[in-house]
Structure 1
Amino acid sequence: MSTTSRPAVFLDRDGTLMEEAHYCSHPDQVRIIPGVPEALRALKDAGYRLVIITNQSGIGRGYYTLSDYETVQAHFLGLLGEGVIDATYYCPEAPEAASPRRKPETGMVVEAQRDLGLDLARSWFIGDKAVDVQCGLRAGMRPILVLTGHGADQDAAGAEFVAKDFASAVAFILKTSDA
Structure 2
Amino acid sequence: MATENNNEQPAVFFDRDGTLMKEVHFCHDPVNVHAIPGMCASLRRLRMQGWLVFVITNQSGIAYGKISLSEYEAVHCELMRQLDYQVDATYFCPAVPGGIERRRKPDIGMVLEATKAFSVDLPHSYFIGDKATDIECGRRAGMTSLLVTTGYGTQHLSCGADKIFEDAVAAIDFILRKSALWDV
Question: What's the TM-score, normalizing by structure 1?
Answer: 0.95
Aligned to 1:121: 123
- Three-state SS of the structure 2 residue aligned to 1:162 is strand
Cα contact 1:129–1:145 (8 A) shared by 2: yes
- Three-state SS of the structure 2 residue aligned to 1:53 is strand
Aligned to 2:169: 167
Taking the TM superposition and a 5 Å limit, the aligned residue runs for 1:32-111 are 32-82=35-85, 84-111=86-113
Aligned to 1:145: 147
Give aligned pairs, total.
Answer: 177
1:59-113 deviation line (CA, Å, top 9, x unaligned) = 011111111111111111011113x100000000111332100000000000000
Cα contact 1:145–1:159 (8 A) shared by 2: yes
Look up the equivalent residue of 1:141 and give its one-letter code. M
Q: CA deviation at 1:38?
A: 1.2
Instruction: Give the Cα–Cα distance (whole angstroms) in 2 for the partners of residues 96 and 168 of structure 1.
Output: 32
Structure 2: runs of 5 or more not aligned: none
Look up the equivalent residue of 2:147 and give its one-letter code. L
- Of residues 22, 27, 30 in structure 2, which corresponds to 1:24? 27
Aligned to 2:13: 10
Instruction: Give the Cα–Cα distance (whole angstroms) in 2 for the partners of residues 16 and 156 of structure 1.
Output: 17
Look up the equivalent residue of 1:117 and give its one-letter code. S
Question: What's the TM-score, normalizing by structure 2?
Answer: 0.92
Q: CA RMSD in A?
A: 1.4
Look up the equivalent residue of 1:107 and give its one-letter code. G
- Three-state SS of the structure 2 residue aligned to 1:97 is coil
Cα contact 1:133–1:156 (8 A) shared by 2: no
Q: CA deviation at 1:29?
A: 1.1
Structure 1: runs of 5 or more not aligned: none
% identical equivalent positions: 46
